[in-house]
Structure 1
Amino acid sequence: MALADPTPKCEKSSEDAPYQLIYWPRLPGRGEHIRLVLEEAGVEYSDTAHISDGMNSVLAQIDAENVGDELNVPPLAPPILKHGTLTISQTPNILMYLGSRLGLVPKRNDGSDQEVNEDLGAVYKINALALTALDGLSNEVHDCHHPIATSLYYEDQKEEALRKTKDFVANRLPKFLGYFERVLKGNEEKRAGMGESVWLYGGGLSWADLVLFQCLDGTKFAFPKAMSAAEKGGKYVRVFELYETVKERPRIKAYLASERRQKYGYGIYRYYEELDLSAE
Structure 2
Amino acid sequence: MTAATAILQMICPDQPGLVRELSGWVAGNGGNIVHADHHSDQGAGLFLSRIEWQLEGFGLPREAIAPAAASLAERLGGEQRVTFSDQRPPVAIFVSKQDHCFLDLLWRMRTGELPMRVPLVVSNHPDLGSIAEEFGAQFAHVPINNANRQEAEARHLELLKEHGIELVILAKYMQVLTPAFLAAFDPPDAFHRVINIHHSFLPAFMGAQPYHRAWERGVKLIGATGHYVTDELDAGPIIAQSTVNVSHRDEVEDLIRKGRDTERLALARAVRLHLKRQVMVYRGRTAVFE
Pairwise same-fold verdict (TM > 0.5): no
Larger proportion of strand: 2
Q: TM-score normalised to the size of structure 1?
A: 0.26
Which is richer in helix? 1
- Taking CA–CA contacts closer than 8 Å with sequence separation of 6 or more, which of the two structures ends up with the larger relative contact order? 1
TM value normalised by structure 2 = 0.25
